[in-house]
Amino acid sequence: MILVTGGSGFLGGAVVRRLVARGETVRSLQRQDSPDLRKLGVDIVHADLADRDAVIQAAQTCEAVIHIAAKTGVWGPQEDYYRANVLGTRNIIEACLANNIRRLVYTSTPSVIHAGGDIEGVDESIPLATHFEIAYPATKAEAEQLVRSANSTELGTVALRPHLIWGPHDPQLTARILARGKIGRLRLVGKGLKLIDSVYIDNAVDAHLLALDRIAPGAACAGNAYFITQGEPMPQRDLINGILKAGGLPPCEKYISPRAAYALGAIMEIIWKVLGRLDEPMMTRFVAKQLATAHWYDISAAKRDLGYAPLISVTQGLQILKQSLRGA
């Protein structure tokens, strides 16, 4: 049996479905119910990752763990991110050791290496950032270090860093672009010419299953982290406008300067703090920096050690997205 955390999420659910499709018995540890997964025969366990005993119990009889669940976002109390991302990951590692599980795949993020400037064609030799402006990348970096340090002769661990996952049924990147495009509130920071790389959902799932099949104590990928993308760096505006086109919307032709976006983010953060709002501001200083800088990576290591190859191109993914949205 394979334990997947976060099966009710976009990536987690897609991983669970693929595992079931290839004949695996799957248990999903999650906080929300998923009737569609239950219909597939998935064993749903409701538990909080911060509950050590519950996590250890959920991992009983499992032979491997894919740890995807995390608190994401750019706003909210530090302690909430720490509880879910750091404490939760520590409990997953303890659950693996307590149940003699020898394979652990962890979903990290490229944000762990972002220091605020352009990231262009770097590989995994680049060190983790030493300063983080928000809790999400800070706690994910700490969790990734825990996972990689846990690699041993008893437990093989590997961390994946998928960047900007998108595709049909994506409630984050794709949904936000389409929602803001519909009401005319979408802006490109700068001219949208900075190169970014992303990963289509099916390719992200492929990477997780490849890692699951290859990880073991002493494996070539054991103890390592890998960037997972399309391997197709493109101007930011091309991906955004491609998603808009798939949704039947006109391209974004409105711009805001990086300096103005950063200032707007600072103002909105102050307002949100004064009002005590917990929802995410439309712009923050962190988001402004992300949108104003290049983010693309060398995925040679994932190809070499995991056998990863993006099977669906951006063009193909956008066509699938278009068909999905038309059928919605």
271-281 pLDDT, tens digit per residue, is 988 888 888 88
Distance CA 287, CA 133 (A): 10
Is the residue at 326 inside a domain?
Answer: no
pLDDT at position 100 over 70? yes
Look at residue 76 in the predicted model and tell me its pLDDT. Answer: 85
* Average pLDDT over the chain, rounded to an integer: 94
Is the residue at 113 inside a domain?
Answer: yes
User: For 95-110, what is the mean pLDDT?
Assistant: 98
User: For 248-258, what is the mean pLDDT?
Assistant: 91
Is the residue at 272 inside a domain?
Answer: no
Identify the active-site residue in 106, 136, 262, 308: 136
Distance CA 105, CA 214 (A): 10
Cβ–Cβ under 8 Å, residues 294 and 195: yes
- CATH number for the domain spanning 99: value is 3.40.50.720
pLDDT digits (tens, 9 = 90+) for 16-39: 999 999 999 999 999 888 899 999
β-bridge pairing 195-196 and 234-235: antiparallel
pLDDT at position 78 over 80? yes
Helix (H) or strand (E) holding 283: none
Q: What is the pTM of this model?
A: 0.95
Is the residue at 59 inside a domain?
Answer: yes
pLDDT band at residue 81 using 50, 70 and 90 as cut-offs: very high
Look at residue 163 in the predicted model and tell me its pLDDT. Answer: 97
Distance CA 69, CA 84 (A): 8
β-bridge pairing 255-256 and 188-189: parallel
**Which residues lie across from 120 on neighbouring strands?**
296
Look at residue 88 in the predicted model and tell me its pLDDT. Answer: 98
Is the residue at 251 inside a domain?
Answer: no
Look at residue 215 in the predicted model and tell me its pLDDT. Answer: 98
Domain region containing 120: 2-165+199-231+295-312
Is the residue at 121 inside a domain?
Answer: yes
Is the residue at 43 inside a domain?
Answer: yes
Neighbouring residues of 136: CB distance < 8 A, sequence distance ≥ 6 = 71, 72, 73, 74, 81, 85, 109, 111
What are the phi and psi torsion angles at 163 (to 5°)?
Answer: -120, 125
136 is catalytic: yes
Cβ–Cβ under 8 Å, residues 235 and 195: yes
CA–chain centroid gap for 224, Å, is 17
pLDDT at position 212 over 80? yes
Is the residue at 285 inside a domain?
Answer: no
Look at residue 328 in the predicted model and tell me its pLDDT. Answer: 56
Distance CA 62, CA 65 (A): 7
pLDDT band at residue 287 using 50, 70 and 90 as cut-offs: confident
| 52: nearest Cα among 87, 19, 14 | 87
Where on the phi/psi map is residue 108: left (φ > 0), alpha (ψ -120 to 50), or beta? beta
| 151: nearest Cα among 227, 208, 215, 66 | 215
Total structural domains within the chain: 1
